[in-house]
């Protein structure tokens, strides 16, 4: 390992040390500044806060109860395209620099929860790159081997955490910048749904696609930071409200069967890196041992969408973000960054609409393939280059780094990078889990389970990665419902399920504890189930899975005497389904002996 931490830097560990009096925030921040000097050659920082600059934050902690403030005294790093009040924001370009009077909304929320900023981190200039070498402050070096790239553009943010100079950090992600550095430095890299975190106070790369991201040691820390940072922001035109199923209470460790989409061998690309390829295959083998089903998908539409980011008109957004500077002083911009952004000036509206038409067609294909999967699983990156290799072919190799990442924001997907292996050469490798928009907590819960499958350290430290236990969770964006009568497949009311997007999960039986009656009224004819543990029978039923957003309207339409309760199924589970109020059986015909509504209809 590259760094021996003086103590465990996970949020839970540091808060425990504070509570027990073993450490103080002042001591931790002093140690960080001293250790930062040891890694000066890694080019992590653009501005490391001085003792006097940090003191104002430490003074604030004296008036805050550590119990009430979940990030009390927790040091964090900020990518230098995100504003911190009173500290210059450079986006890794001195000619662009300005000093903001207020912090970015996300930064404000973290500081309000007790977090202490350590400094502003190095990045690929204007967040244009996935490698970490495109900065006048020098190439940011990998935490495990300084000959290798750190990944970018959020290079310093990842390396700061990996080397124990922060408990977590903020990065950004337009093309993969919150995931590739996580992979190369053995970290969790959370790229939230677009708009879940406010981008107020962020220097845009592509404003319509940008996300602020989180680097952390484990999913518990990532979820905690997300829960504090997230909020709808009416001042951000791209902000979006978080639905119930994606709230913090739905985070835990995912249990049960899982289905992942994986890329066929003929569409994988490791660019000649045998160690990364072997690490990927070893990861899949371990996941299959954990009971995870792997199903091949067609990656071509995802790869085609990825090409649109840099080969299509979205480069114009990068040009707009720095237009005054590139128009008046182009020589102030890092050469390879200037060469990428400059063509955005001449792109046309017709090119944009043509690309949008193409993107929508690709998205339709991709969404269809992801339906029914718990996640799409990809390598986070196909290889990790040395800094020398990167500088030899900066455009080609940067494009190769984005092979598995560039499609994400264009297709409005959420994702999380999860470390899984250390190669024989000593470099970290990891996978990325991909889900639909607002599946962040579901992905975090799955990532929690996966991360625990692998024997890894925290970042580049000597400490084992051991996230604190959390509750088990299941799928929250869909609800299973048991039907036994007119809603069965092919019967008159089945449309009430199918038109709401429900899908058949299984045909099964109840426990032998129900009596069934043919109720008065209709059409259509309907049965009613009454619990009777002494004289009941096992009744044929179907289990359907319905989008949670449609469940309320379905239940609202159920007429008396029927309602929704918990049905005891043959496998011992309790699942929501149709029950009947006892008063209704007074004038109903008992048909328990048929043990199935279809058998009664076919009598």
Instruction: Indicate which residues carry an active-site annotation.
Output: 79, 153, 177
Q: How far is residue 235's CA from residue 229's CA, in Å, rounded to a whole number?
A: 15
My answer on whether omega of the bond before 466 falls inside 30° of 0, hence cis, is no
Quick one: DSSP state of residue 195? T
- Concatenating the DSSP letter of every residue in 262-300 gives E--GGG---TT-HHHHHHHHHHHHHHHHTTEEEEE---H
Order of strands, edge to edge, in the sheet holding 514-518?
Answer: 527-531, 514-518, 589-590
Which pair of structure tokens corresponds to residue 133?
């070498």
- Which residues, 6 or more positions from 68, have their beta carbon under 8 angstroms from its beta carbon? none
My answer on whether omega of the bond before 153 falls inside 30° of 0, hence cis, is yes
Other CB atoms within 10 Å distance of the CB of residue 573: 14
Quick one: DSSP state of residue 57? H
Q: If you count DSSP H runs as helices and E runs as strands, how many of each does the chain have, helices first?
A: 19, 21
Burial of 598 (C-beta count, 10 Å sphere; 0-12/13-18/19+): middle
**Integer-rounded Cα radius of gyration of the chain:** 27
Q: How far is residue 142's CA from residue 162's CA, in Å, rounded to a whole number?
A: 9
8 A C-beta contact, residue 321 and residue 469: no
Q: How far is residue 458's CA from residue 186's CA, in Å, rounded to a whole number?
A: 7
- Which residues, 6 or more positions from 356, have their beta carbon under 8 angstroms from its beta carbon? none
How far, CA to CA in Å, does 521 sit from each of 17, 127, 446, 560, 561? 67, 66, 47, 11, 11
- Concatenating the DSSP letter of every residue in 531-600 gives E-TTT-B--EEEEEEEEHHHHHHHHHTPPTTEEEEEEEBTTS-EEEEEEE-GGGGGG-EE-GGG-SHHHH
């Amino acid at each position: 390992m590259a760094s021996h931490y003086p103590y465990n830097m996970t949020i839970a560990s540091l808060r425990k040390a504070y509570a027990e009096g073993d450490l103080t925030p002042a001591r931790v921040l002093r140690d960080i500044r001293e250790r930062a000097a040891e890694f000066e050659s890694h080019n992590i920082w653009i501005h490391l806060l001085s003792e006097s600059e940090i003191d104002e934050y430490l003074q604030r902690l004296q008036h805050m109860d550590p119990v009430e403030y979940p990030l009390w005294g927790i040091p964090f790093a900020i990518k230098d395209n995100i504003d911190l009040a009173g500290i210059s924001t450079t986006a890794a370009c001195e000619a662009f620099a300005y000093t903001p009077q207020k912090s970015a909304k996300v930064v404000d929320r973290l500081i309000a929860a007790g977090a202490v900023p350590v400094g502003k981190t190095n990045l690929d200039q204007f967040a244009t790159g996935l490698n970490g070498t495109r900065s006048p402050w020098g190439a940011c070096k990998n935490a495990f081997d300084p000959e290798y790239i750190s990944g970018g553009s959020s290079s310093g943010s990842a390396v700061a955490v990996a080397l124990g100079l922060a408990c977590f950090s903020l990065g950004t992600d337009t093309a993969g910048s919150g995931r590739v550095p996580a992979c190369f430095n053995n970290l969790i890299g959370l790229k939230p749904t677009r708009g879940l975190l406010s981008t107020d106070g962020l220097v845009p790369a592509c404003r319509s696609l940008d996300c602020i991201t989180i680097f952390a040691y484990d999913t518990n820390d990532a979820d905690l930071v997300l829960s504090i940072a997230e909020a709808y922001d009416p001042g951000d035109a791209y902000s979006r409200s978080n639905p119930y199923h994606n709230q913090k209470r739905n985070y835990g460790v995912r249990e049960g069967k899982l289905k992942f989409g994986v890329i066929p061998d003929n569409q994988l690309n490791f660019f000649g890196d045998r160690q990364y390829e072997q690490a990927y295959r070893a990861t899949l083998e371990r996941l299959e041992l954990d009971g995870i089903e792997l199903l091949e998908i067609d990656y071509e539409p995802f790869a085609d969408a990825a090409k649109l980011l840099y080969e299509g008109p979205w480069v114009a957004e990068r040009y707009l973000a720095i237009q005054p500077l590139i128009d008046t002083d182009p020589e102030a911009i890092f050469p390879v960054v200037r060469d990428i952004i400059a063509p955005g000036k001449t792109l046309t509206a017709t090119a944009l609409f043509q690309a949008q038409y193409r993107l929508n067609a690709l998205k339709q294909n991709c969404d269809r393939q992801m339906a029914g999967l718990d996640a799409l699983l990809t390598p986070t990156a196909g290889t990790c280059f040395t800094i020398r290799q990167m500088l030899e072919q900066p455009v080609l190799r940067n494009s190769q780094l984005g092979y598995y990442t560039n499609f994400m924001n264009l297709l409005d997907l959420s994702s999380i990078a999860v470390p899984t292996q250390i190669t024989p050469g000593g470099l970290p490798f990891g996978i990325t889990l991909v889900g639909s928009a607002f599946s962040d907590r579901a992905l975090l819960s799955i990532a929690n389970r996966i991360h625990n499958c692998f024997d890894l350290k925290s970042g580049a430290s000597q400490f084992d990665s051991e996230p604190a236990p959390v509750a088990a969770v299941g799928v929250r964006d869909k609800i299973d419902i048991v039907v036994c009568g007119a809603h069965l497949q092919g019967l008159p009311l089945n449309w009430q399920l199918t038109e709401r997007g429900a899908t058949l999960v299984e045909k099964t039986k109840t426990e032998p504890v129900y009596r069934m009656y043919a109720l008065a009224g209709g059409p259509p004819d309907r049965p009613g189930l009454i619990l009777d543990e002494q004289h009941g029978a096992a009744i044929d039923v179907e289990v359907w899975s319905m989008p949670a957003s449609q469940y309320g309207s379905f239940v609202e339409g159920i007429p008396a005497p029927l309602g929704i309760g918990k049905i005891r199924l043959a496998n011992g589970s309790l699942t929501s389904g149709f029950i009947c109020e006892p008063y209704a059986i007074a004038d109903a015909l008992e048909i328990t002996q048929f043990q199935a509504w279809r058998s009664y209809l076919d009598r």
